[in-house]
Amino acid sequence: MPEPTIYHYPNCSTCKRALGWLMERSVSARTINIVDKPPSVAELKRALEAVDGKIGKLFNTSGQAYREGNYKERLVDMSERDALLELSQNGKLIKRPLFIASDVVLVGFRPDEYENAFSAKA
Protein backbone atom coordinates (compact mmCIF):
# COMPACT_ATOMS: atom_id res chain seq x y z
CA MET A 1 0.00 0.00 0.00
CA PRO A 2 1.52 3.37 -1.01
CA GLU A 3 2.40 5.87 1.67
CA PRO A 4 -0.13 8.70 2.22
CA THR A 5 0.91 11.85 0.36
CA ILE A 6 0.14 15.49 0.95
CA TYR A 7 0.69 17.87 -1.92
CA HIS A 8 1.35 21.31 -0.49
CA TYR A 9 2.89 24.67 -1.26
CA PRO A 10 5.50 25.65 1.36
CA ASN A 11 4.42 29.33 1.53
CA CYS A 12 0.71 28.50 1.88
CA SER A 13 -0.64 29.18 5.38
CA THR A 14 -3.49 26.70 4.88
CA CYS A 15 -0.98 24.00 3.94
CA LYS A 16 1.08 24.81 7.02
CA ARG A 17 -2.01 24.42 9.22
CA ALA A 18 -2.84 21.06 7.60
CA LEU A 19 0.72 19.79 8.06
CA GLY A 20 0.63 20.94 11.69
CA TRP A 21 -2.70 19.18 12.23
CA LEU A 22 -1.29 15.93 10.84
CA MET A 23 1.91 16.25 12.89
CA GLU A 24 -0.02 16.87 16.14
CA ARG A 25 -1.89 13.61 15.55
CA SER A 26 1.17 11.63 14.45
CA VAL A 27 -0.24 11.05 10.97
CA SER A 28 2.70 10.44 8.68
CA ALA A 29 2.57 11.41 5.04
CA ARG A 30 5.08 12.03 2.30
CA THR A 31 5.15 15.76 1.50
CA ILE A 32 5.44 16.93 -2.09
CA ASN A 33 5.67 20.52 -3.28
CA ILE A 34 2.58 20.81 -5.50
CA VAL A 35 4.25 23.42 -7.73
CA ASP A 36 7.43 21.39 -8.32
CA LYS A 37 5.60 18.09 -8.84
CA PRO A 38 1.84 18.38 -9.37
CA PRO A 39 -0.32 15.28 -8.86
CA SER A 40 -0.91 12.97 -11.80
CA VAL A 41 -4.14 12.86 -13.76
CA ALA A 42 -4.93 9.55 -12.02
CA GLU A 43 -4.50 11.13 -8.58
CA LEU A 44 -6.60 14.11 -9.67
CA LYS A 45 -9.35 11.72 -10.82
CA ARG A 46 -9.44 10.29 -7.30
CA ALA A 47 -9.65 13.83 -5.92
CA LEU A 48 -12.49 14.58 -8.33
CA GLU A 49 -14.43 11.63 -6.90
CA ALA A 50 -13.86 13.04 -3.40
CA VAL A 51 -15.54 16.32 -4.42
CA ASP A 52 -18.55 14.55 -5.98
CA GLY A 53 -17.31 15.06 -9.53
CA LYS A 54 -17.39 18.86 -9.34
CA ILE A 55 -14.25 19.82 -11.26
CA GLY A 56 -14.40 23.44 -10.10
CA LYS A 57 -13.75 22.29 -6.53
CA LEU A 58 -10.26 21.12 -7.53
CA PHE A 59 -9.25 24.60 -8.67
CA ASN A 60 -7.59 27.20 -6.45
CA THR A 61 -10.12 29.87 -7.40
CA SER A 62 -8.38 32.57 -5.37
CA GLY A 63 -5.02 32.03 -7.06
CA GLN A 64 -3.30 34.22 -9.59
CA ALA A 65 -2.92 31.37 -12.11
CA TYR A 66 -6.69 30.78 -11.99
CA ARG A 67 -7.46 34.46 -12.60
CA GLU A 68 -4.79 34.95 -15.26
CA GLY A 69 -5.90 31.80 -17.08
CA ASN A 70 -9.50 33.03 -17.09
CA TYR A 71 -10.62 29.66 -15.73
CA LYS A 72 -13.87 30.98 -14.31
CA GLU A 73 -15.14 31.40 -17.86
CA ARG A 74 -13.11 28.63 -19.50
CA LEU A 75 -14.29 25.87 -17.14
CA VAL A 76 -17.86 26.29 -18.36
CA ASP A 77 -17.00 24.67 -21.69
CA MET A 78 -13.83 22.74 -20.77
CA SER A 79 -13.98 18.96 -20.78
CA GLU A 80 -13.17 17.10 -17.58
CA ARG A 81 -10.21 15.49 -19.35
CA ASP A 82 -8.76 18.86 -20.41
CA ALA A 83 -9.32 20.36 -16.96
CA LEU A 84 -7.55 17.44 -15.25
CA LEU A 85 -4.69 17.69 -17.73
CA GLU A 86 -4.24 21.42 -17.06
CA LEU A 87 -4.32 20.82 -13.30
CA SER A 88 -1.70 18.08 -13.64
CA GLN A 89 0.57 20.50 -15.47
CA ASN A 90 0.24 23.50 -13.13
CA GLY A 91 0.20 22.87 -9.39
CA LYS A 92 -0.68 26.49 -8.66
CA LEU A 93 -4.11 25.86 -10.19
CA ILE A 94 -4.92 23.13 -7.65
CA LYS A 95 -6.78 23.76 -4.41
CA ARG A 96 -4.35 22.86 -1.69
CA PRO A 97 -3.36 20.99 0.28
CA LEU A 98 -4.29 17.76 -1.43
CA PHE A 99 -4.05 14.71 0.84
CA ILE A 100 -4.14 11.33 -0.88
CA ALA A 101 -4.06 7.96 0.88
CA SER A 102 -5.31 4.54 -0.15
CA ASP A 103 -8.61 5.06 1.70
CA VAL A 104 -9.09 8.84 1.82
CA VAL A 105 -8.66 11.92 -0.36
CA LEU A 106 -9.02 15.41 1.10
CA VAL A 107 -9.04 18.58 -0.99
CA GLY A 108 -8.15 21.78 0.86
CA PHE A 109 -7.97 21.91 4.64
CA ARG A 110 -11.02 22.00 6.82
CA PRO A 111 -10.21 20.68 10.30
CA ASP A 112 -13.64 19.05 10.66
CA GLU A 113 -13.17 17.08 7.42
CA TYR A 114 -9.73 15.92 8.52
CA GLU A 115 -11.11 15.01 11.96
CA ASN A 116 -13.92 12.97 10.40
CA ALA A 117 -11.59 11.22 7.98
CA PHE A 118 -9.05 10.25 10.59
CA SER A 119 -11.42 9.44 13.46
CA ALA A 120 -13.19 7.00 11.15
CA LYS A 121 -9.85 5.22 10.64
CA ALA A 122 -9.07 4.95 14.35
Give domain limits for the chain: 5-115
Contact 83/57 with Cβ under 8 angstroms? Answer: no
Residue ranges of alpha helices (H) inside 10-90 are: 13-24, 41-50, 64-68, 71-74, 80-89
Residues 6+ apart with CB under 8 A from 21: 109, 111, 114
Contact 99/43 with Cβ under 8 angstroms? Answer: no
> For position 3, what pLDDT does the model report?
86
Q: Which CATH architecture has domain 5-115?
A: 3-Layer(aba) Sandwich (3.40)
* Position 111 pLDDT exceeds 80: yes
Predicted confidence (pLDDT) per residue in 65-106, tens digit = 999 999 999 999 999 999 999 999 999 999 999 999 999 999
Say which amino acid occupies 106: L
Q: What pLDDT band is residue 122 in, cutting at 50, 70 and 90? A: low
Residues 6+ apart with CB under 8 A from 28: 3, 4, 22
Predicted confidence (pLDDT) per residue in 15-63, tens digit = 999 999 999 999 999 999 999 999 999 999 999 999 999 999 999 999 9
Contact 27/118 with Cβ under 8 angstroms? Answer: yes
Report the side by side order of strands in the sheet with 30-33.
Answer: 30-33, 5-8, 98-100, 105-107
How far is it, in rounded angstroms, from Cα 64 to Cα 81?
Answer: 22
Higher pLDDT, 2 or 16: 16
